[in-house]
Amino acid sequence: MKFLTISIKYIIPLCIAVALFNYQNKESVVNNSPKKEKNIEAKVDSVLALMRVNEKIGQLVQYSGGWDATGPSSSKGDQHKLDKLKKGEVGSMLNVSSVATIKETQRLVMEHSRLKIPLIFAFDVIHGYKTIFPIPLGESASWDLDIIKQSAAVAAKESAASGLNWTFAPMIDVSRDARWGRVMEGAGEDTYLNAQIGVARIKGFQGEDLSSVNTIAACAKHFAGYGFGEAGRDYNTVSIGEYELHNTILPPFKAAADAGVATFMNSFNDVDGIPATGHKGLQRDLLKEQWNWNGFVVSDWGSIGEMIAHGYAKDKKHAAQIALNAGSDMDMESYAYEAYLEDLLNEGKVTMSQLDDAVKRILRIKFELGLFDDPYKYCNEDREKTEVYSKENLDIARDVAKKSIVLLKNNNNVLPLSKNIKSIAVIGPMADDKNSPLGNWRGKGEYNSAVSLLEGIKAAANKNTKIYYEKGIDLTIPTVEAGKNQFLHPLKFNTEDNAGIKKAVEAAKKAEVVLLAIGEDAYQTGEGRSQTNIGFFGLQNELLDAIYKVNKNIVIVLSNGRPMDLSRVSKMVPSILECWHLGSQSGNAIADVVFGDYNPSGKLPISFPHSVGQEPLYYNQKNTGRPWNDKHVTYSGYQDAPKTALYPFGFGLSYTNFSYSNLKLSASEINLNQEIQASVTVTNTGKVVGEEVVQLYIRDLVASIVRPIKELKGFKKVVLEPGESKTISFTINNKTLQFYSVNKKWEVEPGDFNLWIGGDSTTKLKKSFKVVE
């Protein structure tokens, strides 16, 4: 008995201390070398061997903070969380921000818990932390992977300087429906573009070394099918076939896994009847086993518990059983794992090996972040003061913003404006709006901190230019509920107060050109912001009509987070600038384009319809057995609208013009193991330097499953001086041509292929080639 007492008092703690020293040693390692990976695995195993069941379960628990950990708890729920933290029964916190609060929360674990396993702190850093970049859909319009990577790197640096080490981004859901509010958070309708942009963002967040103090863990979401919700409704059911899942939805996630993304997040929706959170086929079988991915999966907010509402779990205990068995590693805010996993283990409904696998995955990321070496490594008040919202970061945000703008229409070369223009009217509810440009999911961006359009125009215009400003109308009506939490409450639109339109008309009469700033409020898009109407809400059409009567020289400066129905305005006004929600430097970036200091180069990552009735709308449709025919009605189209887009995927104008010619293939026939080179000459036929996004599309004409009429398979952004020509080449190989076939595997099938290269998805410049066995 005496020996047992001595063992408990001295020997066991000594063993723990030695093991802790083992995994907390500061051995120098470089990047993700095999030596480093092997070293981390040994450390993970040594920690796991020390852990009790309650501590293992605790690593699978993520709480949302929101309280001041430096002061007294504000509620019974907060006290529960604080108690769990001290016991080492929490693995992660989200929505805890500032170095002081994060440091204190980490201290609760490090000074009170038995094993002192550090927390990982997460936040929704979607398009910037405090320096806000364009919404992801807007940034994707740049088709510039380098600046997209750079913007994520800035967001990571600011987040890390503020104590954070994990973001729930990028969203890589392919989304084809403009009604879905969360379309603003992704890269649009195309699988290939989503994959390329998703990887760029992951590399920006995570850098070359996840243990660097300037990088944070990324999260590929939402796994899977979230962007295909029926009727464009958020959280809705997803009914797709196996081939659509593999060919359209999963490739960006496979690219993310191959790029080494640290975490995945599952999605709220069901996929053909199985909630994604409880989908073993997706999470455990495909992601973890077939793809051999070694990060961890976090549930979306409360999605484990929501399987009850789905009708897939009878209660929260059953939901916890389903989720862990399916491979969902961390429970975000369902409180299901902490409440029931130990009972489920004792009952044999989940296994210790499943629990250990989940714990090891979470520990592995914490080691890779360097949190075991220094739990407070991200908590440096000096960095928080100097590296957040710096001039350097704002300059980068301006560069990204101007490259995200898409020129949709420019009849009579209305744009660019001369800086010597005598008068400009800046009109509209978004004209001096400093908040909507921040968009939804604006991290820690401060309310009303963006540069407005009016401010940008005033700063860029000649001092002798007369600038008239009138708001004209309010788009929304403030409400008490929205004032408390704009994110959670619906907007109320102004449909009655038009008193300001008269002053706006007087301003328009006096100006040579009108910049009309209309579109969507920042909170019209984002999570839960689905709409059946994608036109102009409130009194915006009334304002446009009144201005148009007195001055037809109008540039629509469009502020929005989704494709909008522009069918009416595109017939009226000579010029339309798609400006999205551009972030902190919005007004300056728009002014750069308006005055020609930057020639717009953006291209649409998503199609704009003639009517909302076309949604979901996307360029890479299937041909059907009755393709479009304008000679009679029995075809796959509409009687009252075109089948095609008003502004198609990949479309965007410039202040110069580009011509394509001399499309060549290095061979007209190749075998399955060969590759072919496609080249085209691109010429700037205008008078100013410009950037063009050269796009490659391919069609597999006959296959074991029906293939789309055209698919993006490559793109390159090229800068051309006036009169300059460049030859742009693409390599087509097995990876380019493969698809998930009727044989339920990725392969290239012999047959005939068409190839197009041009400036958007409607390009006609075509060649054909054959693949033989």
193-198: long-range contacts, CB 8 A cutoff, minimum separation 24: 193/140, 193/143, 193/605, 193/712, 193/715, 194/252, 195/251, 195/252, 195/254, 195/255, 195/256, 196/145, 196/255, 197/136, 197/140, 197/145, 197/148, 197/170, 197/172, 198/170, 198/172, 198/252, 198/255, 198/256
CA 396 to CA 149: how far, in whole Å?
11
* 32, two tokens: 């993700």
In this structure, are residues 558 and 540 in contact, taking their beta carbons and an 8 Å threshold?
Answer: no
Q: Tell me, what amino acid is at 296?
A: F
In this structure, are residues 717 and 693 in contact, taking their beta carbons and an 8 Å threshold?
Answer: yes
* 530, two tokens: 């689905």
Q: Which residue do the tokens 């002798």 mark?
A: 464
Per DSSP, helices labelled H in 627-704 are none
User: Helix, strand, coil shares of the chain as percentages rounded to 5?
Assistant: 35, 20, 45
32, containing H or E segment: none
Q: Tell me, what amino acid is at 628?
A: W
In this structure, are residues 600 and 409 in contact, taking their beta carbons and an 8 Å threshold?
Answer: no
Nearest residue to 378 (alpha-carbon basis) of 210, 259, 200: 210
Helix (H, G, I), strand (E, B) or coil at 674: coil
Q: Which residue do the tokens 């999470």 mark?
A: 283
* 625, two tokens: 């057995």
Count CB atoms within 10 A of the CB of residue 721. 12
Residues 6+ apart with CB under 8 A from 756: 696, 697, 698, 710, 763, 764, 765, 766
CA 102 to CA 96: how far, in whole Å?
6
What 8-state DSSP symbol labels residue 398?
Answer: H
Nearest residue to 211 (alpha-carbon basis) of 22, 371, 20: 371
CA 157 to CA 143: how far, in whole Å?
23
Catalytic residue among 177, 190, 270, 300: 300
CA 657 to CA 684: how far, in whole Å?
6
For residue 647, CA distances in Å to 484, 559, 610, 611, 672 come to 38, 16, 8, 12, 36
Give the 3-state DSSP-derived string for 335-378, with helices as H, strands as E and coil as C. CHHHHHHHHHHHCCCCCHHHHHHHHHHHHHHHHHHCCCCCCCCC
CA 760 to CA 744: how far, in whole Å?
31
For residue 163, CA distances in Å to 62, 121, 375, 376 come to 17, 8, 10, 8
Residues 6+ apart with CB under 8 A from 575: 407, 409, 410, 411, 414, 415, 554, 555, 556
Q: Are strands 92-94 and 61-64 parallel, antiparallel or unpaired?
A: parallel
In this structure, are residues 329 and 297 in contact, taking their beta carbons and an 8 Å threshold?
Answer: yes
Ramachandran area for residue 66 (φ above 0: left; ψ -120 to 50: alpha; else beta)? left
In this structure, are residues 369 and 210 in contact, taking their beta carbons and an 8 Å threshold?
Answer: yes
Active site residue 399: no
Nearest residue to 572 (alpha-carbon basis) of 547, 592, 593: 547
Q: What amino acid positions are annotated as catalytic residues?
A: 300
